Structure 1
Amino acid sequence: MRRLLLACAFFALPGIAEAQRTLTIAAQSAPTAMDPHFHRANSNNAILRHVFDGLVDFDTSGRIVPRLAESWRAIDDTTWEFRLREGVRFHDGTPLAPEDIAFSFERLPNVPNSPGSFASTVRTVTGVTVVDPRTIRITTREPTPLLDAELTAVLILSRRLHDNASTADFNSGRAMIGTGAYRFVAYEQGNRFEAARNPDFWGGPQPWEQVRMRFVPNPASRVAALLAGDVDLIDSVPTQDVTRLAADPRLAIFTADSNGTAYLFPDAVRDQAPYVTDRQGRPLERNPLRDRRVRQALSLSMNRQAIVDRVLEGQGTPAEQFAPPVALGRATDMRPIAMDAGRARQLLAEAGYPEGFRLTIHGPTGWFPGDVAVLQAIAQSFTRIGVETRVETLPTANFFSRATNRDFALFMTTYASNLAAVTLQQVVATRSPAAGLGPFNRQHYTNPAVDGPLIEALRTMDTPRRNALVAQSMHAAIEDGAVIPLFYLKVNWAGLRARVRYDASPSWYTNALFATPAD
């Protein structure tokens, strides 16, 4: 036994030495803020998971796995019990307390100027009761079968440390104290993020001593940095470079079918919308996007398969509904949306626009690989049926602020979730901050045929019945053109083969927790 222990110790020594490593990443998207409760956006969620933890999380296979909670269960339809890990501390030594969970839930709806609130994750929660120092019970006002899945989005803060912390305090680093695998070192908005390994992490020390992330929105610059060996890993590999980089023996490509859908969001509500005129540039008496036939015509104008094949170089799948194939509870009976330019022109004529009209479509630049080229392809499709379309793109932070302010008639973005019901709840359910519905419904769309079955689904414990209700809501949303789904993205990372391996995340997360040394 003594010889065996000595041998184990001997073979462990290289591992200790190898742990003294720095992982350098070039990431496309910078976070909009470092406040864990400010903006429910992938770039924010991924980076902040270095420093902060949730009770539970999704792993890369779509399973809900323990984090700060070591176990949990539904006691009845309106009561959940979570058992916290023993001995968890924040980076300054402050112990994790059950009261911190209640504090974090209370903070979610009260973060000023949030462009995408987390409040809907706890929309049904009515109380958090401390049973003992490691056990809490969460009560809800109605059955909430997806509560554990929704709580994967919530990162836990400390009442003692963060009670008066503002978003500015997180951005400056003063409040960047979490329970995560890495400790905050530095952040420069739009430029870099740095963290150091937390030796006291509850999950055990990580293999990277330092994590350095540079925000490089230009795709060619990210690729050049990788090829030069200046970084170990890049995300958002340009679609046109995937095949070429995969053939380079120095590099490895890591790919996942994402849980995200690219879609168009038309303003189907206001009588007058910006960026819509007649063919001569004069204001129209009525916003044409209010007419379902116009929204259907725009959808039918596009050859989604061609966009995926030619613009995305095959890095995606045409969408027939809002939730991607990896999402649980999606509709199983929806047919592909075929291009039919003739039918699209007919619908425009029936709606009173035989000569079409002018439209500007907006989108973020550097949000996903090929996003600007996709917008240009969509504009060409619309123009071919008589809707003369131009494209305007904006940096992501500016784009989402303006989209939330309803500055656009039609815009393109993405939404990612592992649950079809949550996708609908977040984006097309009628906006109701009090009910936690529609926080990403930036066009203020409303439709009882969507809301009715969806709200019933969200409180239905029986899984087959819940899925049937979600499918009913999904059909209503797509048939009405609430959103116009485009495609489901594949996501790609590229790394130096001798340096790193990456467990590709369907959630698009670029995070050192998914990276391991190649050797």
Structure 2
Amino acid sequence: MSRQFFKASLLAVALGLSAATSVPAQAAALRWAAQNDILTLDPHSQDHNTSNTIGAHIYEGLTRLDAKYQVEPSLATKWTYITPSQVRFELRQGVKFHDGSAFTADDLLFSFERIRQPLGTKQTYVSGIKEIKKINSHTVDLILEAPTPMLLTNLSNFSIMSKAWASKNKAESISDYKSKDENFASRNAMGTGPYKLVGWQPDQKVSLVANKDWWDSNKGNVTELSYLPIKSAPTRVAALLSGDVDIVTDLPPADFLKLKEEGKVKLIEGPEVRTIFFVMDQGSDELRDSSVKGKNPFKDRRVREALNLALDREAIKRSIMRGLSVPAALMIPPGVNGHDAALDAPLKPDVERARKLLAEAGYPQGFEVPLNCPNNRYVNDEQICQAAVAMWARIGVKVRLITLPFVTHSQTFQRFESPFFMLGWGISTYDALYGMQAWGHTRSSGADGNFNFGKVSDAKLDALIQQIKFEPDVAKRNAQIRAALLRLRDEHLFIPLHHQVRPWAMKPGVETLHRSNDQFEGRFTSIK
């Protein structure tokens, strides 16, 4: 017995998923594995893709994205622009929450106030909405600050929660995730979506069952869905090959070609609209735990450019990603509105110029700084960080690598305790504004800069983002996006590394849609 198969067998026994006891395919049970767990079940707390993906099975928005990523009705059946800044939504009648209670406008108004609470990181999805006025139990008017081009797409990610359930369980407020606080909504859920939560065992399993009373119908036949976070890449692959899981949505690059040649599993190849990058604390007067005292090297554009020049992205693509990455200069990937391949050519590595820039900035011998990196979130994240540390060492920047599971990594940088850290950002709206507003705009108490944990603050970038938010003319808006992306690139406000390519692997009997937003959907999936 191979070591990988042995690990997978142990895992299956622990989770009750061994081949001998697995649910027959005809019962439409599907076991889905990826490397990291959800952070919370609270639909308004953390803008984290795995948590959002599970949440989208349970909760719904006024709109949703169809199989081709186009906006279609969900909990709203119709919307009418009374004026450019007032939109009337007719809510779907007869919809029930999973406990049988009726969905009404009161739940929408409650959820709107809740998602805007400052302890969450999802305010971007209601950006531009000044207020929601209730007309009657199933009609509301959204009053906008100004015409908002991304309104309908953003609303697909605004989850509607039961007001009565939240009140009954004292979960009206979002808990302070970064301080490890929880409330009832952190580990329980009450939505209207296609699946009901059965339970969550952290780091082991999320269990869902089909909602037989859902207002819509699934395109597939999956009635039981289990999500299994398996950190070890060899163990995930072994579990797929041994039949202990049915689909893996983050196939390691090292296994891709081998599995493709062997032909034992079905592979779906496709890009992911996610960029991996490094964030620098550019707001603090002194970097935390750095050798530089009394000032912050990251405030100097020359230092940021030097760190950028030190990275050999093609080497990382070749040796670590096995070809499954697209070296990046822009902070948004192909497939997102605003991306331009002509602008997305990264700097060629230049150690000598990087050293010269550091010397000009006053650091001829370099400096020391810690780097926080997740070890279970992005494709080969820890290995990438190790390679980057070695590359930065060549220009005299001594980086102390700290690797953590993403749940701890995320809490650390959200407490502003990481002066330098890796982050990945998927563009769920397929428009550049979503990312730029969250991590590029100066931090505020609302949606602007709500994920800006590097304290980036650039007046020109802020002005462009404000224009992009409300510009109705497509050509003008795209020109503003281009200018903002160039500002991000040329000022080196972040260090983009690459855009991920994300193949999925599954048993031959599984049929599903590959989603470039990396959000597996049970409603589009069948198994036999």
1:109 is matched with 116
1:64-84, Cα deviation, whole Å (9 max, x unpaired)? 232222333444321123232
- Give, in angstroms, the shift of residue 390 of structure 1: 3.0
What is the alpha-carbon distance in structure 2 between the residues aligned to residue 397 and residue 156 of structure 1? 24
1:201 aligns with 2:214: yes
- Give, in angstroms, the shift of residue 460 of structure 1: 0.7
The amino acid across from 1:386 in the alignment is G
- Give, in angstroms, the shift of residue 514 of structure 1: 3.7
1:119 aligns with 2:123: yes
1:470 is matched with 481
2:314 is matched with 305
Q: Which shifted more, 240-249 or 457-466? A: 240-249
The amino acid across from 2:117 in the alignment is N
Within-5 A mapping of 1:399-414: 399-414=409-424
Return the match for 2:399 from 389, 395, 401: 389
Count residues in correspondence: 490
1:415-451, Cα deviation, whole Å (9 max, x unpaired)? 11121011110001000114x2001100111010110
Return the match for 1:186 from 186, 189, 199: 199
- SS of corresponding position for 1:48: helix
Return the match for 1:343 from 322, 332, 353: 353
The amino acid across from 2:295 in the alignment is R
Q: Which shifted more, 372-381 or 83-92? A: 83-92
Note closer, same or farther for the CA distance 1:298–1:107 as it changes in structure 2 (3 Å cut): same
Return the match for 1:448 from 459, 463, 482: 459
What is the alpha-carbon distance in structure 2 between the residues aligned to residue 507 and residue 315 of structure 1? 16
What is the alpha-carbon distance in structure 1 between the residues aligned to residue 64 and residue 493 of structure 2? 30
2:139 is matched with 135
1:227 aligns with 2:255: no
Identity of aligned residues (%): 28
- SS of corresponding position for 2:156: helix
- Give, in angstroms, the shift of residue 210 of structure 1: 1.0
1:298-354, Cα deviation, whole Å (9 max, x unpaired)? 001112122122211111101121111111133565251222222211111111112
1:315 is matched with 324
Is the contact made by 1:430 and 1:445 (CA closer than 8 Å) also made in structure 2?
yes
- Give, in angstroms, the shift of residue 60 of structure 1: 5.1
Note closer, same or farther for the CA distance 1:511–1:275 as it changes in structure 2 (3 Å cut): farther
CA root-mean-square deviation: 1.9
Note closer, same or farther for the CA distance 1:86–1:256 as it changes in structure 2 (3 Å cut): farther
Within-5 A mapping of 1:360-371: 360-371=370-381
Is the contact made by 1:60 and 1:504 (CA closer than 8 Å) also made in structure 2?
no
Is the contact made by 2:222 and 2:523 (CA closer than 8 Å) also made in structure 1?
no
1:491 aligns with 2:506: no
Return the match for 2:297 from 285, 288, 299: 288
- Give, in angstroms, the shift of residue 396 of structure 1: 0.7
2:89 is matched with 82
1:51 is matched with 58
What is the alpha-carbon distance in structure 2 between the residues aligned to residue 172 and residue 107 of structure 1? 17
What is the alpha-carbon distance in structure 1 between the residues aligned to residue 286 and residue 131 of structure 2? 43
Is the contact made by 1:348 and 1:354 (CA closer than 8 Å) also made in structure 2?
yes
Q: Which shifted more, 368-377 or 162-171? A: 162-171
- Give, in angstroms, the shift of residue 254 of structure 1: 1.9
Q: Which shifted more, 28-37 or 59-68? A: 59-68
Is the contact made by 2:248 and 2:505 (CA closer than 8 Å) also made in structure 1?
yes
What is the alpha-carbon distance in structure 2 between the residues aligned to residue 18 and residue 381 of structure 1? 48
Is the contact made by 2:330 and 2:496 (CA closer than 8 Å) also made in structure 1?
yes
What is the alpha-carbon distance in structure 1 between the residues aligned to residue 413 and residue 67 of structure 2? 30
- SS of corresponding position for 1:276: coil
Return the match for 1:249 from 250, 253, 263: 263
1:429 is matched with 441
- Give, in angstroms, the shift of residue 132 of structure 1: 4.4
Q: Which shifted more, 321-330 or 283-292? A: 283-292
Is the contact made by 2:129 and 2:144 (CA closer than 8 Å) also made in structure 1?
yes
1:398 is matched with 408
- SS of corresponding position for 1:193: strand
- SS of corresponding position for 1:320: coil
Is the contact made by 2:373 and 2:404 (CA closer than 8 Å) also made in structure 1?
yes
- Give, in angstroms, the shift of residue 261 of structure 1: 0.6
Is the contact made by 2:128 and 2:148 (CA closer than 8 Å) also made in structure 1?
yes
- SS of corresponding position for 2:269: strand
2:333 is matched with 324
1:348-394, Cα deviation, whole Å (9 max, x unpaired)? 11111122122322111111121111111111111112212232111
- SS of corresponding position for 1:312: coil
Is the contact made by 1:72 and 1:82 (CA closer than 8 Å) also made in structure 2?
yes
What is the alpha-carbon distance in structure 2 between the residues aligned to residue 155 and residue 41 of structure 1? 14
The amino acid across from 1:492 in the alignment is P
Is the contact made by 2:34 and 2:250 (CA closer than 8 Å) also made in structure 1?
yes
Is the contact made by 2:334 and 2:340 (CA closer than 8 Å) also made in structure 1?
no
- SS of corresponding position for 1:245: helix
1:488-514, Cα deviation, whole Å (9 max, x unpaired)? 1011221111x2122111111134234
1:280 is matched with none
2:277 is matched with 263
1:440-465, Cα deviation, whole Å (9 max, x unpaired)? 10011101011011111111111111
- Give, in angstroms, the shift of residue 485 of structure 1: 0.8
- Give, in angstroms, the shift of residue 256 of structure 1: 2.4
Is the contact made by 2:106 and 2:137 (CA closer than 8 Å) also made in structure 1?
no
Return the match for 2:149 from 130, 145, 152: 145
The amino acid across from 1:266 in the alignment is M
The amino acid across from 1:341 in the alignment is V
**Normalising by structure 1, what TM-score?**
0.90
- Structure 2 gap segments, 5+ residues each: 1-23, 173-181
1:509 aligns with 2:514: no
Q: Which shifted more, 225-234 or 94-103? A: 94-103
Is the contact made by 2:124 and 2:434 (CA closer than 8 Å) also made in structure 1?
no
- SS of corresponding position for 1:110: coil
Note closer, same or farther for the CA distance 1:18–1:356 as it changes in structure 2 (3 Å cut): closer
Is the contact made by 1:331 and 1:474 (CA closer than 8 Å) also made in structure 2?
no
1:32 is matched with 39
What is the alpha-carbon distance in structure 2 between the residues aligned to residue 264 and residue 227 of structure 1? 34
What is the alpha-carbon distance in structure 1 between the residues aligned to residue 313 and residue 227 of structure 2? 34
Note closer, same or farther for the CA distance 1:138–1:332 as it changes in structure 2 (3 Å cut): farther
1:219-240, Cα deviation, whole Å (9 max, x unpaired)? 1111111111011111211111
The amino acid across from 1:501 in the alignment is E
